[in-house]
Structure 1
Amino acid sequence: MKGVVIDDKALLMAENDTVATALDDLEAGTELPVDTDARSDDSATGETGGASSRVVVLEEAIEFGHKIALADIEAGEKIYKYGEVIGVATADVPAGAWVHTHNCASTRGRVDREADDATALGAGGDPR
């Protein structure tokens, strides 16, 4: 996936992202149709999930370039953009809410944080 424009209003960079980026100043109540690819298996029927659609309604106005939660994100949960973890929710964030420093602690570019794995900076690994 190279990025998907959602209804000319937002940009989703990777399919596992939990946020999208506003492509314009968006008003509260704006609807974003989000396609999901449910890959769960139904053991009773042997069928796999298929693509489905849902609508995320903006909880508040969100300015151009800012992040929009595409699903409910609980405090402490990782936030994904570009297919990578960019931060951790510091509060519960409902779908359609603005994601920024008031509810997300960045994990990018932080050399003072604890490493999650042995390849992270400070454990002798490559920091890239």
Structure 2
Amino acid sequence: MPHFLIHNKNDNVGVAITDIKAGEEVEGVYIEDMAKGPKIKAINDIPLGHKIALNNLKQGDTVIKYGRPIGSAIKEIKIGEHVHVHNIRSNRWGKWRKSQ
């Protein structure tokens, strides 16, 4: 049974469909064709609905979900790490904040 979904083949994050515990070996599935995705060892606890890194990302790298850029890494992110507001800046939030 998959632990996370990958919305697009170009995504570098998946979305947890169950709570994931640090150290757990988890498997993803691609929504487009239900093909098996990568198996990854989770570095952190990742709550249901939050993102897991599918690739190593450097500071400034683009975070891709749904095949589209959703933000930028504000620090290094490793495969299997929890991806959320503590390590990415959202494109949407960043644009809103600049307009204030």
TM-score range (shorter-chain normalised) is 0.7 to 0.9
Aligned match of 1:73: 57
Aligned match of 1:42: none
Name the structure with the higher helix share. 2
Does 1:55 find its partner at 2:39? yes
Aligned match of 1:32: 26
Deviations 1:24-65 (A, max 9, x none): 111111223468xxxxxxxxxxxxxxxxx8532100110000
CA shift in 2, pair 1:54/1:66, >3 Å: closer
Q: CA deviation at 1:17?
A: 0.2
Pairing partner for 1:64 from 48, 66, 69: 48
Which structure is larger by alpha-carbon Rg, 1 or 2? Answer: 1
C-alpha distance in 2, partners of 1:54/1:14? 13
How many aligned positions are there?
90
Q: Which runs of 5+ in 2 are unaligned?
A: 30-36
What amino acid sits opposite 2:71 in the alignment? G
Higher relative contact order (CA 8 A, sep 6+): 2
Does 1:101 find its partner at 2:85? yes
Q: CA deviation at 1:108?
A: 2.4
Pairing partner for 1:89 from 73, 92, 99: 73
Aligned 8 A contact 2:16 2:48 in 1: yes
Q: Runs (4+) of structure 1 moved beyond 6 Å?
A: none
Q: Which runs of 5+ in 1 are unaligned?
A: 1-6, 36-52, 114-128
The CA RMSD measured in Å over matched residues stands at 1.9
Taking structure 1 as the reference length, the TM-score comes to 0.63
Deviations 1:47-101 (A, max 9, x none): xxxxxx8532100110000000011011000000000000000000000000011
C-alpha distance in 2, partners of 1:17/1:90? 18
Percent identity between the aligned chains? Answer: 33
What amino acid sits opposite 2:81 in the alignment? A
